[in-house]
Structure 1
């Protein structure tokens, strides 16, 4: 068995009563002033001294063997040795249940000094949490507070943790609030995190939001709370507040993960600020935080499109389309290029779109391609393409193709262009 040197030293001084007595310890000792005090019998005391000597020499395993060989007969001796063995086992990996057995025996004896008894109860409770005996741990922590008369915020937090593990979320709030009320110095976030977790698990987003609003005020440099608050606002459909919170978090450098950046981009889009969404995603894709794949390039292209930054949209639609030869994305690229009168670019993109046999509206793509040929001065190719469109299954497109064939012929005639 292996122990840390620190643990062995603490155990030694605690067992022989050399540790200093705190003001709190004196306070509860006075409350238990009528408690009878016992001492070890001479026989057991001598054996315990030998155990301490082995500890001092860091012969921990030998000390344990010797301690186990002690066969106390008197009630106090039994309780003392039980607590001592429990404390030793508590420092060993995988011996938590063994430690609980001995410490429980010491507590049940209820004969140790006030300091020793309080220490045993607290150790028992901590071990019960460690071994996932959460119901017993709650009882032990409450017993410790009853015996000592102390109101310890850390103990209330541990009670709350035990209730969380038991999924008794309704019981978490009271000990968490007690812990918060007892914090007299710099506040710690653990009881607030307990409340947040309980409200989240019990599907009470508004109450969770209330806790997080307090937390970002108390712990303004804790990045995770800003992101969580923004996400809870989203969950509660308070999109404007979500955006304000996430934007503040971003400009302060608190958003550092891919998921957080994607949430902020979504909020920009939902709040009709697509330019910022596109710029944000583009920036972090270039930085390597967001992968450069078809989905992300398409999302950036769509955001630039919504922001009416058509040149940028054309670029990103093309990059997205090229990854998997996506005809739909080439079609979007081609129609935008056509809209900007970049007819050569439109022709190239639309031809690529039509090479994809999964294209949903090939008739429309062919029709726009024919128009692009016309505006690019390729009248013969335009008419030939329009004649193909005349055979389209989409009746409205086929009808328009007939009108356009006449228009192309008339235009060529006016311009003395042979077709």
Structure 2
């Protein structure tokens, strides 16, 4: 309907500016218009194509009508061919020429012919008087440059678009962001992401991207603030995002918050990697009991983590628990024996400690086992005396 109205406007404008169609062409054009109104666009096209005229204005007029009808029928190539002929003829009245060239540029853009679209759009924006439907031309120019990978031109076009005080902001800012990322303008991309989040704070991917960029430029604390703010605002962050937040807490020296964040993930009590991270963070936070509890859970899934648990139990003077844990360990017998020797020594059971040290030395003699044997033998003698 919009295109048909444009046809009618073209006829009226022609009369108003003193340009008239020949009577024959006017009758044919009116008939074609009526056919299109009756949804007989194919017939209207056949009627117009059959017209022969030597008058340049008549030719431009018919070409424009054909272009619009072909566009209506979604026959893009034919629409472009006829609209281009109409525009390039220089016969159309200024306003009609402008709207026709805009149609042509839009068709080039929508059909992926970005190189052809750009000069048409640039011609349109050079018009001295702004047109009612000129809003968005710079955005279309930015889109074309984006598709061609012309990143600097994308940014300059978006900036010019914003000077027109448009209502639409998300799409141009998204184009600008993409260009800034391609140009590795990280700091500027951060500012653009903040602008986008002011418009759509619920967009989780932008929070994630902002935090990643802040980490990339070394602003880890800003990244922590970004993700924690998103969480407070109930943005739907993924498990990966929350794990990233935990790791960032650890990087800025907040291991307790890191451990708490990990502990709230879906598989925190069953995923061995998450259990490992929790235990490490609790240990860094000097929350010994919590670290011990998580190491115990982790060791049930991977036996190698028993040694992390044993080491922490020794540190915290839980020597009986160390002895209980090491009683049935078959791997690394020399390590088991030396660990038990240390535990018995701390409990004051010197002879048992010496027995374990000698057992370790028999399995695999080392400077450590020899040193312990010498030390414990002396302690045993001194105790006997």
User: Shorter-normalised TM-score: what interval?
Assistant: 0.7 to 0.9
> Which residue does the alignment assign to 1:82?
66
Contact 1:364 1:397 in 2 (8 A): no
Q: CA deviation at 1:284?
A: 2.4
What's the offset of the Cα at 1:126? 2.7
| Selected match of 2:311 from 331, 335, 353 | 335
Encode CA deviations 1:369-390: one digit per residue, 9 max, x unaligned: 4433566798887555422322
TM-score, reference length from structure 2: 0.79
Are 1:285 and 1:292, in contact at CA under 8 Å, matched by a contact in 2? no
Aligned to 1:168: 150
Spell out, residue by residue over 1:259-283, the C-alpha distance to the aligned partner (whole angstroms, 9 max, x if none): 3212221221111001101101111
The farther-off stretch of 228-237 and 337-346 is 337-346
1:180-202 alpha-carbon deviations (Å, 9 max, x no partner):
22216x56233333322222111
Moved more, 311-320 or 276-285: 311-320
1:65 aligned to 2:35? no
Match of 1:41 among 26, 46, 63: 26
State the alpha-carbon separation in 1 of the partners of residues 18 and 357 from structure 2.
105
Distance 1:133 1:400, change over 3 A: farther
* Residue among 359, 371, 374 paired with 2:342: 371
186-195 or 343-352, which deviates more: 343-352
Residues in 2 aligned to 1:219 and 1:293: alpha-carbon distance in whole angstroms? 34
Matches of 2:91 and 2:172 in 1, distance apart?
Answer: 34
User: Shift in Å at residue 356 of structure 1?
Assistant: 5.6
Superposed CA deviations along residues 7-41 of structure 1, whole A, max 9, x for unmatched, are: xx4444454459xx9xxxxxxx9xxx969465853
Q: Aligned-pair distance for 1:52?
A: 2.2
The 10-residue stretch of structure 1 (9-18 or 208-217) with the greater mean CA deviation from structure 2: 9-18
Task: Tell whether 2:124 aligns with 1:178.
Answer: no
Determine the C-alpha separation between the residues in 2 that align with 1:258 and 1:83: 53
Where does structure 1 lack aligned partners over 5 or more consecutive residues? 1-8, 22-28, 56-62, 415-419
Distance in structure 1 (CA, Å) of the matches to 2:161 and 2:336: 67
Please name the residue that 1:59 is paired with. Answer: none
Higher relative contact order (CA 8 A, sep 6+): 1
The answer to whether residue 268 in structure 2 is matched with residue 297 in structure 1 is no
Name which of 210, 217, 220 aligns with 1:239: 220
Deviates more, 1:400-409 or 1:228-237: 400-409
Q: Which residue of 1 aligns with 2:377?
A: 406
Give the 3-state SS of the residue equivalent to 1:285 in structure 2: coil
The residue number in structure 1 matching 2:259 is 278
Superposed counterparts of 1:168-207, under 5 Å: 168-183=150-165, 188-207=169-188
Unaligned stretches of 5+ residues in structure 2: 54-58
Structure 1 residue 50: Cα displacement: 2.1
Distance 2:258 2:70 in 1: 59
Describe the shift of the 1:211–1:369 C-alpha distance in structure 2 as closer, same or farther (beyond 3 A): same
RMSD: 3.8
1:242–1:37 CA distance, 2 compared to 1 (3 A): farther
- Tell whether the 8 Å contact from 2:7 to 2:65 is kept in structure 1 after alignment: no
Structure 1-normalised TM-score? 0.74
Q: Work out whether residues 326 and 356 of structure 1, in 8 Å CA contact, stay in contact via their aligned partners in 2.
A: no
Cα 1:373–1:214, aligned 2, differ >3 Å: closer, same or farther? same
For the 8 Å contact 2:296–2:306, the answer to whether it is kept is: yes
Deviates more, 1:259-268 or 1:311-320: 311-320
1:395 match: 366
SS at match of 1:41: helix
In the TM superposition, 1:107-118 aligns within 5 A as 107-112=87-92, 114=94, 116-118=96-98
CA distance in 1, matches of 2:375, 2:79: 91
